[in-house]
Structure 1
Amino acid sequence: MEPIVVISILGGLIVLVLIVGAPLKPIRLVGQLFVKVMIGALLLFFLNAFGTTIDLHVPINFVTATISGLLGLPGIAALVIIDMFIL
């Protein structure tokens, strides 16, 4: 797709949401989930950056970022245990 088409579609969707209105609660929940997944990916990045000294590498993908983002430190600990003992 051409970039101008994508920008036009996104602009049209924004105008449509502004005119019609959108339920705020589902949008807020999706936004919070997105932020938590990004934080989980960032935590996994730092785990991989500092874990290289002890041969620790947990792949960063949507599933592992979601687990670490939603569960926090216990989720990261679970991913490390799975990586060390099961894989």
Structure 2
Amino acid sequence: MGLELSVILAYAVGLILLYLIGWILVIPIKIIIRLIWNGIIGGIILFVFNIIGGFFNISIVINPLTALIAGFLGVPGVILLIIFNYMV
């Protein structure tokens, strides 16, 4: 008895669906890892800024939100945080 065409198609569709489901689950993990990495980089940028800004009496509180803003936006994010710090 040979494999029928419907069985082969069912296996092919199953493999394609398994691949698509795996791909859909991997994308959010990559985004979360990227946000965590950007948050760490942002925290380091804010730490360095606070060390240098200590000489000029300027500082920004380091918390997860400010670290993500600084990490995601980079130098413009730090400038945004400085402006926001003095507005509030």
* TM-score scaled by length of structure 1: 0.69
Q: Which deviations, in whole Å up to 9, do the C-alpha atoms of 1:10-61 show, x marking residues without a partner?
A: xxxxxxxxxxx78221111110111001100110000001110100110000
Does 1:64 find its partner at 2:66?
Answer: yes
Are 1:38 and 2:40 counterparts? yes
> After superposition, where does 1:2-81 map in structure 2 within 5 Å?
23-81=25-83
Larger radius of gyration: 2
Structure 1 gaps of 5+ residues are: 1-20
Compute the RMSD of aligned alpha carbons: 1.5
What are the ranges of 5 or more consecutive residues in structure 2 without an aligned counterpart? 1-21
Runs of at least 4 residues of structure 1 off by over 6 A? none
SS for the counterpart of 1:59 is coil
Match of 1:86? 87
TM-score by length of 2: 0.68
Distance of 1:66 and 1:38 partners within structure 2: 8
**Equivalent pairs: percent with the same residue?**
33
| Other-structure match for 2:10 | none
Cα shift at 1:71: 1.0
* Structure 2: distance between partners of 1:67 and 1:27: 20
Number of residue-to-residue matches in the alignment: 66
